[in-house]
Structures are given as C-alpha cells and as structure tokens.
Structure 1
Amino acid sequence: MRCLPFSAALYRELQRQGLDADTIWQDKSRFGRGPTWPRDGEHLEDDLRWLITVGVLRREVDGQGLTSRFRLTPLGRDLLEARQAELLQPPGWNDRLRQALRRRWPF
C-alpha cells in the first residue's frame, strides 16, 4: 500500500464515482502523493494499468462496453478500508525496489 502511486483522496473518489485519466491528470495537487507524479499522460496510464493488473482498479463499463473511466474494485475498497494508514507512510527504499522489480517482472 505504501507504494501505490496516488493519494488516498484518489482512491476515495474512485470508490464514490468513476474518473477518467484526464480528470486525474488535471488535479495533481489533490491526487498526487509526495514528490512523485507521472511525467506525462502515458506514464499516468501506465500507473493506472498497473493498478488494474494488481486488482485495485477496473475500467468502468457502460451499455456499449469499456469506457475511459476507472473505478475501485472490491479488493481496492477492502485494502483502502483496512490499510488506509499505510497510504500515509512513505515507502522505504526496499519497498520501492521490491515494487519496481514486481512491475518489471510480475511473475
């Protein structure tokens, strides 16, 4: 949880309603976590896709299929409720290294 790339405010907002990447990108001060923020829209999408891969987020679906909006999954809600304090703690160097390795080689 300490290595999640966005603030708790984003996850709470995604639990309440779906957001698209552009909305997230435009509100860095609210959704950013610490000094790190994706350097461009492509990296933001990479972070969102990673959160989908690990099961925290999902793409919102409407009557016509997938949309560009994201929502919190049930697993994401459970993690947010059970471990919200961990989002406030900065990750250590070992946490960041482990996370980077998992993103590079997930299996």
Structure 2
Amino acid sequence: MSSSTLPPIIYSQPTLDRASRALGCAPFTLTLFAAMRSQGISLNAIAASSGVEKNYTQHPLLELSAESNLIWLIKVGLLRREVDGQGITDSFRLTPLGHQLVKQWEMQEDSFSSVSWCDRIANAAHRWLRLPI
C-alpha cells in the first residue's frame, strides 16, 4: 500500500490547536513549509540572509534562533529531522501533522497574520516552561 493511499491520521482537537498555534507563531513563512513537503530543507538555507532570499523568513534569523524554533516545531509534532545513511542531518521535513496543517493554511491565505496575542503568549509560555504537550 503506497503512502498516497493510506487514510489520513485523525488528530485530536487539542493537538491540532497546539500545532496550529505553534505554526502561526513561528518566524517562518508558508513558503518554507510548502517546500518541506517535498524535500528536506537545511538549516543553512533557513538561517541568516539565505532564509530571506528564499522567502523562508521575513527577516534574517541567527542560526541558533532558527534551530531553536525548528526544534520547537519538532516537539509539537509538525517537523522531523531528515535522516540519511550516516545519521541525522541538519535538514527538516514535515510530519503527517505538518502536511495536514500546511495544506489547510494554504487554503486560508491570511492564517499566518491571524494569530492573536493570546496565542503568541500561550505558545511562548509552553516553550519557556516546557509544559507537557
């Protein structure tokens, strides 16, 4: 059975809400997540001026900041690290949850700008306190 014929995974509403909030609060553009659908994107392509040039970010991010944000998106289930024959790489890809949310967000073009301050505070609190997710 190919992956295209598998039924979609059903996620709980709290999982979808948390992941959607984290996605909207991330300093990345929908262009980055759309690119991650078909290929792994390296940290070097996202950080610094390279990220702005590729429209992955709206402003340059330090490598440490970009990686920290990507790791948070791994923790909430949106991304995974790419693996090759040698082990873990510096590239990131979408998980099935990430695929589902990016598809939804592409249909709602203003979703990234519609994240409220309450959502941003909740996301920051979860990250800072490392509350169970």
The structure 1 segments of at least 4 consecutive aligned residues displaced by more than 3 Å after TM superposition are none
Q: Which residue of structure 1 lines up, in the alignment, with residue 31 of structure 2?
A: 9
Kept in 1, the 8 Å contact 2:43–2:90? The answer is yes
The residue number in structure 2 matching 1:41 is 63
Can you give the 5+ residue segments of structure 2 that lack an aligned partner in the other structure?
1-19
- Return the TM-score normalized by structure 2: 0.69
CA RMSD of aligned residues (A): 1.8
The one of the two structures with greater contact order (alpha-carbon pairs below 8 A, sep at least 6) is: 1
Aligned length: 104
When Rg is computed on C-alpha atoms for both structures, the one with the higher figure is: 2
Aligned to 1:63: 85
Q: What's the CA shift string for 1:53-106, capped at 9, x where partnerless? A: 111111111122111111111110011112332643242211111111111122
Q: In structure 1, how many angstroms separate the alpha carbons of the residues matched to 2:71 and 2:35?
A: 18
Q: Which residue number in structure 2 is paired with residue 19 of structure 1?
A: 41
Q: State the distance in 1 between where 2:60 and 2:126 align.
A: 19
